[in-house]
């Protein structure tokens, strides 16, 4: 489970201690040990084929074998991919990471017969087997899901062909990552104070929020200008990715790419459709926020390049140790056991903290090494956004800790659909903690402003991305190649609608049409919509937890501990949240309105005091 957050800034020359780096040796004590395990696992992967045609008589034995090999493959990948991400310039680690990806694809190819054979057994036989053999309990959801997926599972040979092509289909994201993170010649700009800055993705996020309007406009123009020069290459890459998604969807008999993608987790189409519809209905809330932003910045013509300066400036920074303690304190409401696990993990070497040249940008949590612990990558800067990002990623980490503690390997990997709930709940708990521990009105405005910006970026911005992603796939399904011109025009059209360009709310220049090329998530086959759905659910959980509603903590921790033991929509329904209804999405808009009410109320008090 690899979960990304990609909007961090770059710190200036942090002092790095051993405890600020992760310790990958807990996975393998040496590179030689990893190589030895790689060779052994390569043989084990090929051995999975010995179960072909045998599931009716050796079901439990074969499932034990396949999931055991899968666990070993994932551990190998965690070691190699994280070492590579720590320095993307290292060709040897990149090669090892690619070997791990190839081995994963090979396992899918060799084990492609599993679901077709389970489907052939039939639902009645599967239920009978589960009832008669208690040792099959770890695999009950996998078996029932395979039966449920029967209409879209192909014969074994075709499944093997699809699985074998995955590494080729995924080449597009590797091309994009290599170009953007390691090879693209990012421009250097001179800011108004004479500072020179090379606008890599990390430095772009650091400088786009400059308090100097001319500087942030320069940063936007130069950064997206650099991307535009490679727009044809990046358009070809994203076209290849989307074409691959459509190819698989057609092969499996789905009417659309989105139907195929969300059915992987058995998410109803109504969830996606309701998200897009309710977000568009609630755009007046976003526009109210944008008008408030213009007021706080003291400008009458808000531009897209004005979206990132904080509503209220705050110069305070927190050390990484202080940020960890804030995360622990903010989540104490989840109980003593949760707090103890947090303290243990945050004090250990689970995290690579600071930015370095060549290190992958953004932040993520990798919880795929079942027998060890999660690993986090940050690019910690010390500002409040960095503190919030730590809390966000730590929510993911604790989700993995609790899931692994409660579930066997076969059920521990939770669906992406529920993955962002723990992270966004943590952000809401952090905000509540910061507000409760300050009486200073300026500090309250600062934290409330950060919360509003978080809702813009995690809900409205991700819903915008979801709508654009759907448009891309629909175009390909209708025979439209994704050229740079088409992508620029479509992204610009949707962005202008969301940000109220035609109504004079935000000026969105033509150059922003190329922003699609900056977003890696578009390669992940309908991933981004789940940020928006998750923050909706997470906000409901946080509200109930903070209101101390009876059973709220238990319902929330029960969801995290459930891992992937059932369909994610079902798990959420059991926890009291229906994602097919309008309620979660409308609740986000209501929460944003309440925060703006409080924000404007504090401003009114301050104005009244000034007049006295």
**Mean pLDDT of the region 190-204:** 91
Q: Is residue 313 part of a domain?
A: no
Q: What angle do CA 171, 415, 555 make, to 5 degrees?
A: 160
User: Widest CA span of the chain, in angstroms?
Assistant: 86
**Mean pLDDT of the region 191-219:** 92
Q: Is 393 an active-site residue? A: yes
**Mean pLDDT of the region 7-32:** 78
**Closest to 282 in 3D by CA, of 600, 603, 608, 591:** 591
**Mean pLDDT of the region 4-30:** 73
In this prediction, residue 379 carries a pLDDT of 94
Q: Taking 90 as the threshold, does the pLDDT of residue 6 lie above it?
A: no
In this prediction, residue 134 carries a pLDDT of 96
Q: How far is Cα 119 from Cα 170, in angstroms, rounded to an integer?
A: 28
Q: Taking 50 as the threshold, does the pLDDT of residue 40 lie above it?
A: yes
Q: How far is Cα 385 from Cα 362, in angstroms, rounded to an integer?
A: 12
Q: Is residue 188 part of a domain?
A: no
CATH of the domain at 135: 1.20.140.70
Name beta bridge partners: 188: 198
The model's pTM is 0.84
Specify the higher pLDDT residue, 316 or 29: 29
**Mean pLDDT of the region 31-55:** 97
CB neighbours (10 Å) of residue 47? 13
Phi, psi of 165 (to 5 degrees): -90, -5
Q: Taking 70 as the threshold, does the pLDDT of residue 457 lie above it?
A: yes
Q: What percent of the chain has pLDDT over 90?
A: 85
In this prediction, residue 9 carries a pLDDT of 38
Q: How far is Cα 27 from Cα 526, in angstroms, rounded to an integer?
A: 31
Q: How confident is the model at residue 8 (pLDDT cuts 50, 70, 90)?
A: very low
In this prediction, residue 3 carries a pLDDT of 52
Of 181-185, 541-545, 570-574, minimum mean pLDDT range: 181-185
In this prediction, residue 610 carries a pLDDT of 82
Q: At 547, is the secondary structure helix, strand, or coil?
A: coil
Q: How far is Cα 431 from Cα 539, in angstroms, rounded to an integer?
A: 12
Q: Taking 70 as the threshold, does the pLDDT of residue 101 lie above it?
A: yes
Which residue in 117, 393, 420, 467 is the catalytic one?
Answer: 393
Quote the mean pLDDT of the chain. 93
Q: Which domain holds residue 135?
A: 2-169
| Size of the chain, expressed as the number of residues it contains | 612
In this prediction, residue 153 carries a pLDDT of 87
- Domain total in the chain: 1
Q: What percent of the chain has pLDDT over 70?
A: 97
Q: Is residue 518 part of a domain?
A: no
Q: How far is Cα 489 from Cα 512, in angstroms, rounded to an integer?
A: 10
Residue 239, both tokens: 């076209």
Q: Taking 90 as the threshold, does the pLDDT of residue 581 lie above it?
A: yes
Q: Is residue 118 part of a domain?
A: yes
**Mean pLDDT of the region 469-487:** 97
Q: Is residue 97 part of a domain?
A: yes
**Mean pLDDT of the region 551-573:** 97
Q: Is residue 86 part of a domain?
A: yes
DSSP letters spanning 174-233: HHHHHIIIIIS---EEE-TTS-EEE--HHHHHHHTT-SSHHHHHHHHHHHHHHHHHTHHH
Q: Taking 80 as the threshold, does the pLDDT of residue 463 lie above it?
A: yes
In this prediction, residue 12 carries a pLDDT of 44
User: No. of H helices and E strands in the chain?
Assistant: 27, 6
DSSP letters spanning 499-534: TTTTTTSSB--GGGGGGGGG-GGGGSSS-THHHHHH
Tell me the pLDDT tens digit for each residue of 511-561: 999 999 999 999 999 999 998 999 999 988 998 999 999 999 999 999 999
Q: How confident is the model at residue 181 (pLDDT cuts 50, 70, 90)?
A: confident
CB-based contacts of 610, cutoff 8 Å, min separation 6 = none
- Taking the CA atoms of residue 337, residue 434, residue 309 and residue 516 in that order, the dihedral angle to the nearest 10 degrees is 20
In this prediction, residue 54 carries a pLDDT of 96
**Closest to 317 in 3D by CA, of 263, 386, 395, 237:** 386
Q: Is residue 334 part of a domain?
A: no
Q: Is residue 457 part of a domain?
A: no
Q: How far is Cα 223 from Cα 538, in angstroms, rounded to an integer?
A: 33
In this prediction, residue 611 carries a pLDDT of 78
């Amino acid at each position: 489970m690899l979960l990304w957050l990609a909007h961090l800034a770059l710190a200036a020359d942090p002092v790095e201690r051993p405890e600020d780096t992760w310790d990958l040796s807990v996975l393998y004590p040496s590179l030689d040990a990893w190589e030895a395990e790689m060779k052994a696992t390569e043989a084990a992967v090929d051995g999975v084929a010995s179960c072909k045609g045998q599931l009716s008589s050796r079901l439990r034995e074969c499932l034990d074998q396949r999931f055991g090999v899968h666990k070993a493959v994932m551990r190998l990948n965690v070691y190699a991919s994280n070492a590579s991400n720590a320095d993307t310039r290292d060709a040897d680690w990149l090669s090892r990471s690619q070997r791990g990806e190839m081995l994963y694809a090979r396992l899918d190819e060799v084990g492609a017969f599993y679901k077709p054979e389970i489907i052939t057994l039939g639902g009645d036989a599967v239920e009978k087997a589960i009832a008669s053999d208690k040792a099959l309990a770890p695999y009950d959801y996998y078996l029932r899901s395979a039966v449920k997926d029967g209409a879209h599972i192909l014969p074994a040979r075709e499944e093997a062909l699809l699985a074998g092509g995955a590494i080729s289909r995924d080449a597009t994201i590797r091309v994009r990552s290599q170009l953007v993170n390691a090879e693209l010649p990012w421009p250097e700009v001179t800011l108004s104070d004479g500072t020179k800055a090379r606008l890599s993705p990390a430095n772009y996020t650091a400088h786009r929020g400059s308090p100097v309007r001319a500087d942030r406009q320069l940063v936007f123009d130069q950064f997206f200008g650099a991307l535009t020069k490679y727009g044809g290459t990046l358009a070809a890459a994203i076209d290849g990715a989307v074409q691959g998604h459509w190819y698989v969807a057609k092969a499996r008999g789905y009417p659309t790419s989105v139907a195929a993608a969300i059915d992987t987790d058995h998410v109803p189409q109504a969830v996606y459709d309701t998200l897009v519809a309710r977000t568009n209905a609630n755009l007046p809330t976003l526009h109210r926020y944008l008008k408030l932003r213009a007021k706080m910045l003291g400008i009458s013509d808000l531009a897209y390049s004005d979206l990132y300066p904080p509503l209220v400036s705050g110069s305070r920074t927190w050390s990484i140790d202080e940020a960890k303690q804030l995360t622990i304190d903010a989540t104490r409401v989840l109980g003593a056991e949760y707090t103890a696990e947090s303290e243990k993990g945050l004090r250990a070497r689970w995290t690579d903290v600071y930015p370095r040249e060549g290190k992958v940008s953004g932040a993520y949590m990798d919880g795929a090494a079942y027998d060890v612990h999660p690993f986090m990558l940050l690019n910690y800067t010390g500002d409040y956004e960095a503190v919030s990002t730590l809390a966000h990623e730590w929510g993911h980490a604790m989700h993995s800790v609790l899931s692994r503690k409660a579930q066997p390997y076969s059920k521990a990997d939770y669906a992406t659909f529920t993955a962002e709930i723990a992270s966004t709940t943590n952000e809401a708990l952090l905000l509540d903690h910061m507000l409760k521990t300050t009486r200073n009105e300026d500090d309250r405005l600062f934290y409330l402003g950060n919360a509003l910006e978080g809702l813009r970026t995690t809900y409205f911005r991700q819903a915008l991305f979801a709508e654009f992603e759907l448009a891309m796939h629909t175009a390909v399904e209708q025979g439209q190649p994704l050229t740079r011109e088409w992508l620029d025009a479509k992204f610009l059209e949707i962005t202008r609608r969301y940000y109220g360009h035609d109504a004079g709310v935000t000026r969105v220049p033509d150059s922003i049409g190329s922003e699609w090329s900056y977003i890696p998530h578009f390669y992940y086959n309908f991933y981004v919509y789940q940020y928006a759905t998750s923050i909706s659910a997470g906000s409901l959980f946080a509200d109930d937890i903070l209101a101390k509603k009876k059973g709220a903590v238990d319902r929330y921790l029960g969801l995290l501990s459930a891992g992937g033991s059932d369909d994610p929509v079902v798990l959420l329904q059991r926890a009291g949240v229906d994602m097919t209804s309008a309620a979660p999405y409308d609740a986000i808009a209501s929460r944003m309105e309440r925060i703006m009410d409080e924000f404007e109320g504090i401003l009114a008090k301050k104005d009244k005091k000034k007049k006295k």
